[in-house]
Amino acid sequence: MGSAGALALSLALLLVCVVVCQDVQSDVAALLAVKKALVDPQGVLANWVAGVANAPCDWSGVICEAGRVFELRLQDAGLQGPLAAEIGNLSELRRLNVHTNRLNGNIPASLGNCSNLRAIYLFENDITGDIPREVFLGCTGLQVLSISQNRVVGSIPTEIGTLSALRSLDLTNNLIVGSIPVELSKCVALNVLALGGNLLSGSLPHELGLLVNLQRLDVSNNQLSGLIPLELESLPLLQTLDLSNNNLTGGVPNIFTNLPALQILRLGHNLLSGPLPAEIGNAAALLEVTLAVNKLSGSLPASLPNLVLLQTLNFSNNLFTDGVANVGGLRSIQTLDLSFNEFNGALPSVLTQLVSLRVLALSGNKFSGTIPLGLGAIVNLQSLALDGNLLEGALPSDFGSLQSLVSLYLGGNALSGSIPETLALCTQLQILDLRVNGFSGSIPASLGNLQNLQVLRLGWNKLSGVLPPELGRCTNLRILNLSGQNFTGALPTSYTTLSNLRELSLDGNAINGSIPADFVKLALLTTLALSNNRLSGEIPANVGNATNLQILELYGNQLYGTLPPSLGNCTNLQTLDLHGNRLTGEIPVGVALLPKLEQLNLAGNAISGSILPELGNMSTLVALNVSRNNLTGTIPASLENLPNLVLFDVSWNNLHGEIPSALGAKFSIASFEGNIGLCGRPLNDNCGVSRKSKWERFWTWRAIVGVAVGGGVLALVVLALCAFCCVHLLRKHRGGRLEKPGSPLDKVIMFRSPITLANIQEATGQFDEDHVLSRTRHGIVFKAILQDGTVMSVRRLPDGAVEDSLFKAEAEMLGKVKHRNLTVLRGYYVHGDVRLLVYDYMPNGNLASLLQEASQQDGHVLNWPMRHLIALGVSRGLSFLHTQCDPPIVHGDVKPNNVQFDADFEAHLSDFGLDKLSVTPTDPSSSSTPVGSLGYVSPEATMSGQLSSAADVYSFGIVLLELLTGRRPVMFANQDEDIVKWVKRQLQSGQVSELFDPSLLDLDPESSEWEEFLLAVKVALLCTAPDPMDRPSMTEVVFMLEGCRVGTELPTSSSEPTNQASPV
């Protein structure tokens, strides 16, 4: 080579070196910028220093090829802060692995400059912002994108369709909205598509069926709606299909014949209905099938035994009625959950052949007969739940063979006999729940050998004898509930050594003696319920040592002495109920300083002194009852400051002076009567006028005693009702915004499918009068018929001043309230004074119109089973609002007009949660009150103007009486008589047949339906007790109504109302 050639080569090499050096320096500068933006508490980046040899390739977490940065490997390094935009200058970067840190900020759009990127791992950080479309446009060779467990928002960019090499996309557990883009179908190399735990809406694209390499599809925990695409059967490699926790409707499609690799099928918590395809048995590779919480019905397919590898089958909370025997061939099954369906008949003996079972749950069905012998042979069984059925007879003798059993739930049946000693052989047992049955005899002392036992619930049986002191050896016990039995003798001192005890409920027995002082040394105890026994002596002086105590119920005993001052140390106490004892002395000041106290009941003692003014500082107090004591002095004006007070009773003391005006306006005469010196509203006595004589007061007391005796007889009747119903308890219990303000193109925010304001206007004829379904205090309801034939109900709320963001927040919350007996909010619209709520249309009208129709046809449109189903449905919906919503929802206006019927005549409670969404105008002609409707409002709500769950129970009781008798609550000629008083009068006079609606007059007095009707009447009377504290909760009402239905027949088609749509 000549000198000229050598020179040219040298210059070329020099140029290459210069370029390479420049590229390396660019990488160094980029990484130093990344370091500068981060907080590095663990010093992982400490050696990222410029100017050192082999920088940056020798830096920790930096992987190089040919001197260039090829990979950043900084996972789980404790790094904090954002990723600097300069990271996009790493032009040769192939893998970015910074998962499991505390990174925040946005995903840098500059990553799109890293055209060689193949994998991005950002999962388990705190990253926010949108997914930058620049990444998809610039990194077309990307194979893995994992950004799960962050707070990424926005929608999935449609440019994702350019990533033809993408194999894994994991966006789970973020805040991504919008629909699933159909462009994903262009990512034909996808093996994993994981979009679960976001806010995605719309339907599943049919085009997903083009992803023939897909092995895992997870879109669970979103807001998807519509049908499951049949095209999913075109995914021959699919192993996991998880569509759970959405709003998918329709049936389960027959996709199983062409999915030979399917192992995991999860479709639970949707709105799926209809039968399960028989072809499910063709998916022979299935290991798990979960279809819980849907509306699937019919029989379990006979093809199930073909699933020889199946380990988990969960069909709970559906409407299946038959085919349990078809699970007998599942020889690999480990978890079988068929709870809360409509199965009936005897438990199939084939269950005893499932020798691999670890969990068997059949709760909340209608199984009857005895528990089959042979379950004890399932030696690996860890959990057995048969509670809430109609099972009877004794426990099988082979239960003692279940050496692996951890939990046994048999409550709410009609089981009888003694508790077998052999249960003590189940040494792994942690939960033993036999409550609400008919077990008799004593508790086996051998149960004290269950060292692992944590929960023992035996309440509401027929057990007797003394409390076994051997239970004190169960040192892991957290809950001990032996309520409602016939136990006698003293409280065992051995129970004071149960240091892990949280709840001790021994109420409703005949236990005598004193309360051991060491009970209060149980540091973790939150509930101590010893009421309605025969306990005597004083309340332990050191009760204040139980600082975690939340509920202390000692009422209905013979306790004497003073209230211990140490009660003031129980700073977590919420309920203190000591009524009906023989306590004396004054109320300790410390009681008035308890910061969380909600209920204070000291009635029926001999407490003296004055009412503490400090009680007025207890902002959490809901109920205060100090009636029937020897209190003197005046009623402190400070009690007017209690914002949550619903029940207030100071009657029958020796109080004097003027009643504070706010209390007098809020509570009735019954709260103040029997105090000879009190005056002012609501008493008829004006202050300054002479009081009644002592003799008048004496004879008044004699009248009260007479009433009390009569009330005792009524209490026995109520106890008899509870005892009957308890046998049947637990059977079903264990539910882009605006493009241009005011434009017709403005979107109605739908939780399932997009609808514009123009669609609504067209569907309602511009809110024409002809489309009006009803008018309520919460606005006008219109029938909306969309272009595709879908019929919706649209409520236009009254013009009001509810701020837009508050309206949207409340509407979003209501949209999450879903139960089969509630009207479900499907969408909303807000702009200016226009506020719309979109619901499913209820074609069969409401209960008010149905009862009116029944009265015109002598009631024959409604037979007893249908009335019972309506009552049960409404009670379940109301119970869901009270107990399953966060925060709990008080309805406030339970009445027949707000009970609507769908196409299947299933009852749906409507008009809940609307008080916060509108400012309701006052209409003098309306029967509505600020807290409900005339005739349905509880006495305390009428007086206080405040809503409560107890007031809802009262309103439900009135609706139940109206449903049973056919009489409206305000249709009585005697102005002093209402429906409750009328029903009680008919019962007292023995004129029971007068209670029956005309359609029920032909009931045979000897039939079970006659008995069921009377039990339902008594449930209604419990609900309408004057004192809200005496009313059951809606959960208890559900239990009682389920127990009231002795028969199993359902309404026949001839007894159902017409299917013609009627106004809601």
Residues involved in catalysis: 893
Whether 495 contacts 472, CB under 8 Å = yes
Whether 57 contacts 67, CB under 8 Å = yes
CB atoms inside a 10 Å sphere around CB 420: 17
What is d(CA 644, CA 637) in angstroms, rounded to the nearest whole number?
A: 16
DSSP 408: E
* DSSP secondary structure, 626-671, as one string: --SS--EE---GGGGG-TT--EEE--SSEEEEEPPHHHHHHS-GGG
Geometric angle at alpha carbon 255, from 253 and 256, rounded to 5°: 125
Q: Is 939 helix (H, G, I), strand (E, B) or coil?
A: helix
Q: φ and ψ at 192, to 5 degrees?
A: -125, 125
Q: Where are the beta strands (DSSP E) in 300-399?
A: 312-314, 319-322, 335-337, 344-346, 359-361, 366-369, 383-385, 390-393
**Closest residue by Cα to residue 868 from 769, 1011, 693, 697:** 1011
**Closest residue by Cα to residue 398 from 412, 387, 413, 384:** 384
What are the structure tokens assigned to 48, written together? 């990222």
Whether 882 contacts 949, CB under 8 Å = yes
Geometric angle at alpha carbon 340, from 1044 and 416, rounded to 5°: 55
* DSSP secondary structure, 825-855, as one string: EEEEEEETTEEEEEEE--TB-BHHHHHHHHH
H helices, E strands: number in the chain: 13, 58
Whether 124 contacts 148, CB under 8 Å = yes
Cβ-based neighbours of 864, under 8 Å, separated by 6 or more: 1000, 1003, 1009, 1012, 1013
What are the structure tokens assigned to 1052, written together? 């026949």
What contacts 24+ positions apart, CB below 8 Å, involve 331-339?
331/355, 331/356, 332/308, 332/356, 333/357, 334/358, 334/359, 335/311, 335/359, 336/360, 336/361, 337/292, 337/313, 337/361, 338/362, 338/365, 339/363, 339/364, 339/365, 339/385, 339/734
Burial class (CB in 10 A: 0-12, 13-18, 19+), 253: middle
Whether 305 contacts 326, CB under 8 Å = yes
Geometric angle at alpha carbon 153, from 152 and 158, rounded to 5°: 105
Q: φ and ψ at 597, to 5 degrees?
A: -65, 130
Give the 3-state DSSP-derived string for 722-753, with helices as H, strands as E and coil as C: HHHHHCCCCCCCCCCCCCCCCCCCCEEEECCC
What are the structure tokens assigned to 174, written together? 């973020």
Cβ-based neighbours of 950, under 8 Å, separated by 6 or more: 646, 938, 940, 1028, 1029, 1031
CA dihedral over 355, 360, 362, 363, signed as positive or negative:
positive
Q: Where are the beta strands (DSSP E) in 494-557?
A: 503-505, 512-513, 527-529, 534-538, 551-553
Whether 1038 contacts 879, CB under 8 Å = yes
Max Cα distance, the chain (Å): 139
What is d(CA 4, CA 807) in angstroms, rounded to the nearest whole number?
A: 82
Rg (CA), the chain: 35
Q: φ and ψ at 173, to 5 degrees?
A: 55, 60
Whether 299 contacts 319, CB under 8 Å = no
